């Protein structure tokens, strides 16, 4: 399970950072793969309302970290943790820019009717701190988080909010924070415990991407579907993206990943190889299965469709065999 934390405070050693780090440490201890993004360090331009995403499904701003990095991480994440200090009843401006730019994902879902397979089971969690004690202190941020989570295809799973947290160190001194975090991470245990199945091929651009997407789409609640390649390509194959869209599945923003990187972060319980042969690293104690699938890269679209259908059938059988 991959937990993405979005840290919105410009204070690197402040209260929000403490809260998010403690949350991610606990999730990691239980077996999750985690990554914290310090949002103010990222170059994220504010949305310009051009509506390009509503028409074409992609953002017109291409030269910043949202397009280069964040969309892909949001799509890969199983859990997105938004962490922010309250600034004027909402998120910090840096985090709000990221939230507004998720309009591209909102457009793909609501304007273009595309289905991100990760949305079947993705969860969103809000962590927020504020200096005052007002009853409505978190109301604005909660609403913003709810709509953000909906746009990125995540259910609002839970929140930890703390009043009267102002100076450096206040969060650390809070009496119940560690117990609160443990309780919140307990609720993620069923997701963490899903069986990890790694689909592996050479470039992680076609076959293993399709298999992961189908496994997430049909069995996200039961299987932690991963994919990687022995020699990852720069980008996923656009013809693959097209034929998956024909099947109603949106694989946009997926990024090829190397097997070495993946196994450094997590250990799968089963590996399904589909063309990497003897190059695929052997992880001891792990069940291996080989799917004999032709490489569709560079072949006509009809060939890609046939491989897609074959993969869909095999994934459905695999899911049935996990019951």
Ligand X SMILES: Cc1cc2nc3c(=O)[nH]c(=O)nc-3n(C[C@H](O)[C@H](O)[C@H](O)COP(=O)(O)O)c2cc1C
CA 49 to chain centre: 25
Planar angle of CA 289, 251, 277, nearest 5 degrees: 25
C-beta of residue 147 within 8 angstroms of C-beta of residue 158: no
* Cβ at position 174, least distance to ligand X in Å: 11
CA dist 222 and 83 (Å) reads 27
- Contact (Cβ atoms closer than 8 angstroms) between residue 2 and residue 32: yes
Q: Is the dihedral of CA 184, 185, 187, 191 positive or negative?
A: positive
Cβ proximity to ligand X: between 21 and 247 the closer is: 21
* Shortest CB 42 distance to ligand X, Å: 16
CB of 146 to ligand X, least distance (A): 19
Q: What are 109's two structure tokens?
A: 């879902």
Select 92 or 104, whichever has its Cβ closest to ligand X: 92
Q: Which is nearer to ligand X, 86 or 304 (CB)?
A: 86
8 or 229: whose CB is closer to ligand X? Answer: 8
CB of 266 vs ligand X, minimal distance in Å: 29
Q: How far is the CB of 293 from ligand X (least distance, A)?
A: 48
Q: What gap in Å lies between CA 242 and CA 249, rounded to an integer?
A: 9
Distance between CA atoms of residues 113 and 51, nearest Å: 16
Which stretches of the chain bind ligand X, using CB under 6 A?
Answer: 9, 11, 14-16, 85-89, 129-132, 137, 165-166
The Cβ of residue 87 has, within 10 Å, a number of other Cβ atoms equal to 17
CB closer to ligand X out of 62 and 135: 135
Residue nearest to ligand X (CB): 14
Q: Which is nearer to ligand X, 85 or 220 (CB)?
A: 85
Q: How far is the CB of 89 from ligand X (least distance, A)?
A: 5
CA 210 to chain centre: 16
């Amino acid at each position: 399970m991959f937990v993405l934390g979005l840290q919105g405070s410009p204070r690197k050693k402040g209260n929000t950072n403490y809260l998010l780090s403690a949350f991610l440490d606990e999730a990691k201890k239980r077996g999750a793969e985690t990554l914290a993004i310090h949002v103010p360090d990222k170059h994220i331009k504010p949305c310009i309302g051009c509506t390009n995403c509503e028409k074409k499904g992609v953002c017109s701003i291409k030269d910043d970290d949202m397009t280069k990095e964040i969309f892909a991480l949001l799509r890969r994440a199983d859990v997105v943790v938004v962490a922010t200090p309250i600034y004027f009843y909402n998120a910090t401006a840096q985090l709000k820019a990221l939230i507004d730019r998720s309009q591209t994902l909102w457009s793909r879902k609501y304007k273009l009717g595309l289905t991100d397979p990760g949305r079947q089971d993705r969860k969103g969690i809000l962590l927020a701190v504020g200096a005052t004690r007002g009853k409505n202190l978190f109301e604005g941020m909660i609403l913003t988080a709810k709509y953000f989570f909906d746009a990125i295809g995540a259910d609002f799973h839970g929140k930890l909010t703390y009043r009267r947290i102002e100076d450096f160190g206040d969060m650390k001194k809070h009496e119940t924070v560690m117990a609160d975090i443990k309780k919140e991470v307990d609720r993620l245990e069923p997701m963490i415990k899903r069986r990890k199945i790694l689909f592996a091929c050479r470039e992680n651009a076609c076959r293993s991407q399709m298999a992961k997407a189908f496994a997430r789409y049909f069995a996200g609640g039961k299987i932690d579907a991963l994919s990687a390649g022995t020699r990852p390509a720069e980008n996923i194959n656009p013809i693959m993206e097209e034929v998956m869209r024909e099947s109603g599945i949106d694989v946009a923003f997926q990024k090829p990943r190397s097997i070495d990187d993946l196994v450094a972060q997590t250990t799968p319980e089963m590996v399904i190889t589909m063309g990497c042969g003897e190059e695929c690293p052997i992880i001891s104690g792990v069940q291996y299965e080989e799917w004999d699938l032709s490489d569709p890269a560079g072949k006509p679209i009809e060939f890609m469709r046939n491989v897609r259908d074959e993969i869909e059938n095999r994934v459905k059988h695999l899911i049935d065999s996990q019951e």
